[in-house]
Amino acid sequence: MEQNKKYTRHQHLNVWINVITILCLAALGVLLVDGEPVYGIVLLVLAGLLLIWELFNLSRRDISLKKAPPVVPETSKDDPAVLRALSALPLPYVQTNRSGDLVWFNESFKDLMGSREIRTNISQIFEGLYKKVFPQQGIRKEIHVHFGERKYCVKCRQVAAAELLGEQAAAELPEYLMEFYFFDETQLIDYREAYKGKNLVAGLIYIDNYEEVLESMEEVRQSLLLALVERKVVKYMHDLNAIIKKFEKDKFIFVFEEKNLELLIESRFSLLDEVRTINIGNDLSVTLSISVGVNAPGYLETYESARIAMDLALGRGGDQAVVRDGDTISYYGGKTARVEKSTRVKARVKAHALRELMLTHDTIFIMGHKIPDADCIGSALGIYRLAKTFNKRVYIVMDEDSPAIEPIVSVIRKDRREGDEDIFISGDQALNLRDRNSMLVMVDVNRPAMTECPDLVRLEKTIVVLDHHRQTNDTIKNALVSYVEPYASSACEMVAEILQYIPDKPRLKPIEADALYSGILVDTDNFVIKAGVRTFEAAAYLRRAGADVTRVRKMFREDMEDYRMRTEIISAAEVYLDEFAISTFDAADIPGATVIGAKAANSLLDVQGIRGSFVITRLTDWIYISARSIDDLNVQVIMEKFGGGGHLTVAAAQVKNSSMEEVRQELKNLLLNMKQDGDI
């Protein structure tokens, strides 16, 4: 109370000084009015303004004094027992009105504040406490706030003043009060973070191309190469205070404390680059895949999380690291293309597994991705012919109106005999036709959301996946047979290999062989992109099966208008950061616009100095991005930021509810940030 009196005397002194100053100015103004009227009027006006300002300040001070809480809370024997108990409570305690203005607080809260000024509203003291987060009556709420170097868990609730203090004591208080209890959790949080840092993280390291690298070098140098790789791996992990053990010729397992995971991530898994630079006469660079499992309930679950992450790393082509933190998955690296496997054992095994499943099901659905292309329709027709060899009911769930596949669909419709059932059906028709004895074969796609009918993927129990795109974290989880090979040039190449290992020897019709051949041709850009030895072997098989190169070329020729548009897209391209070509294409009413954009992106790579090309196409409500690259630029990682995917050198994405300029600017910002971080 003494402090309040001192405050009042100080305010009175200030008021008297201001009043005397105003009176002096007014008197001087009156004296000057006769001799110097201009100066006199100016002084009188100034005195009037100062008087108005002083009156305004006095009214504000009165309001603030009425609102201000007591500097030192006082309780007496006449106060309610609840108030006396709260005053002695060892926990900081505060009462406010529903707007957060302080009404009362106890001694412990005063001790918490220390020498700091106690403000009128609680939101002025604690950033996390404000009116919008206050709970309603009957609800208790916990809010975590910081105050200085301490951390508090604030338990708050709204309560009727009469219920808390009694009718008589609450007569002059607001009807409802907010009460806050402050629990210091600084030490608890410190212990929790220390414990979390001690959690064990499990990881795996695989040498991706062990057999291929050894075959590419002299036998006398093989042991030296492996020793150098192992030495780098072990030293890198020992620097992280990790325990590492080699459990197979090309596989390692390691564990370390979670606090060291940040060091691993900050280094961007530099071990990938260090091992890749080892060269003692090997024609191929050694590449690693690294997986880390973290924040699982137990040690077994942590290892299982690391194993799942390794499957993702290998499914995406290797030479990268995958961190699986609960359900969150992060990718690092992936700068080199996966080396093509010379062995066909896997293709033969998958072919036999697919045959066994088809023999045990009566109805077979084949489905690709939305807006199907030549690779999608070609691989679907290859599987269709395989199923027909076993006399099964087969349907292709696909939008046959897509301009990219119209030449093939028109030939199929033309060759169909009168009375034959249409092989193309919609997603709704497939849902009506499915039963317990049906199965689904997915081609050229491994993500449910990208398929023609996601509901069919969810309902079917027997699913086979045949795809060449790199996997992401939302791939099919319940596939009985999953054949995903990122090294393959196309899904058509994979299907052509499978057909060769079927004992029943399916006989392709000319249009089916043409479709498979065209899928390879389009995805490799006429055998320029990702065309390996097995690609040409698959093409040779299709040529023997009746594919005609001239017929395929005629089928997929561009008309003059499409050719002009492609040229316009190329001429409008902007070179960004001296190595990325970016162009836009407004094609709201143009059929086959995405195909035109993809071809333009391919053509832009022919410009010297361009590492990556991006064509942004607007089609109705969607924005499509076609991305292409050359050398070591991973466009799949870039497109994944937009929710898309693909390969290291060929990728795409679809964006909704954005303009072309917004997507263009977002792409530029992403490229700039990734380049500065060393990711591209």
Are the C-beta atoms of 594 and 372 separated by less than 8 Å?
no
Q: How confident is the model at residue 418 (pLDDT cuts 50, 70, 90)?
A: low
69 vs 136 pLDDT, higher one: 136
Strand order in the sheet with 102-105: 102-105, 93-96, 176-184, 150-160, 140-147
- Which residues, 6+ apart, have CB-to-CB distance to 459 below 8 Å? 431, 434
State how far the Cα of 93 lies from the Cα of 83, in Å rounded to an integer.
Answer: 11
- Coil, helix or strand for 458? helix
Are the C-beta atoms of 318 and 212 separated by less than 8 Å?
no
State how far the Cα of 376 lies from the Cα of 482, in Å rounded to an integer.
Answer: 17
Question: Residue 13's pLDDT is what?
Answer: 59
User: Among the listed ranges 25-34, 221-230, 235-244, 544-553, which one has the minimum average pLDDT value?
Assistant: 25-34
pLDDT at 672 over 80: yes
The 3-class SS string of 635-675 reads: HHHHHHCCCCEECCCEEEEEEECCCHHHHHHHHHHHHHHHH
Quick: pLDDT tens for 449-505.
Answer: 888 899 999 889 899 999 988 777 677 777 888 888 877 889 999 999 999 989 888
Two structure tokens written together for 184: 């210091």
Region 129-138 average pLDDT: 83
State how far the Cα of 168 lies from the Cα of 580, in Å rounded to an integer.
Answer: 76
Quick: pLDDT tens for 645-656.
Answer: 777 788 888 888
Indicate whether this model's pTM tops 0.85.
no
pLDDT at 189 over 90: no
User: Among the listed ranges 129-138, 218-227, 329-338, 593-602, which one has the minimum average pLDDT value?
Assistant: 329-338
Q: How confident is the model at residue 4 (pLDDT cuts 50, 70, 90)?
A: very low
Residue 99 half-sphere exposure toward CB, CA atoms < 13 A: 5
Question: Residue 63's pLDDT is what?
Answer: 46
For the chain, helix (H) and strand (E) counts, in that order, are 24, 23
Quick: pLDDT tens for 522-559.
Answer: 888 788 877 888 899 999 999 999 898 888 888 878 78
Two structure tokens written together for 427: 């997603």
Q: How confident is the model at residue 373 (pLDDT cuts 50, 70, 90)?
A: confident
Q: How confident is the model at residue 58 (pLDDT cuts 50, 70, 90)?
A: low
In b/e form, how buried is each residue of 66-90, taking b as 16+ CB within 10 angstroms? eeebeeebebeeeeeeebeebbeee
State how far the Cα of 367 lies from the Cα of 295, in Å rounded to an integer.
Answer: 36
State how far the Cα of 546 lies from the Cα of 389, in Å rounded to an integer.
Answer: 17
State how far the Cα of 645 lies from the Cα of 641, in Å rounded to an integer.
Answer: 9
pLDDT at 169 over 70: no
Quick: pLDDT tens for 252-310.
Answer: 999 998 888 888 888 888 899 899 889 888 888 899 999 999 888 888 999 999 998 89
Two structure tokens written together for 80: 């309610």
Q: How confident is the model at residue 8 (pLDDT cuts 50, 70, 90)?
A: very low
User: Among the listed ranges 95-99, 168-172, 224-228, 553-557, which one has the minimum average pLDDT value?
Assistant: 168-172
Are the C-beta atoms of 296 and 302 separated by less than 8 Å?
yes
Question: Residue 2's pLDDT is what?
Answer: 39
State how far the Cα of 323 lies from the Cα of 635, in Å rounded to an integer.
Answer: 20
Question: Residue 342's pLDDT is what?
Answer: 53
Quick: pLDDT tens for 581-592.
Answer: 999 988 777 777
Are the C-beta atoms of 308 and 289 separated by less than 8 Å?
no
Q: How confident is the model at residue 61 (pLDDT cuts 50, 70, 90)?
A: low
Tell me the torsion sign for CA atoms 337, 343, 345, 350. positive
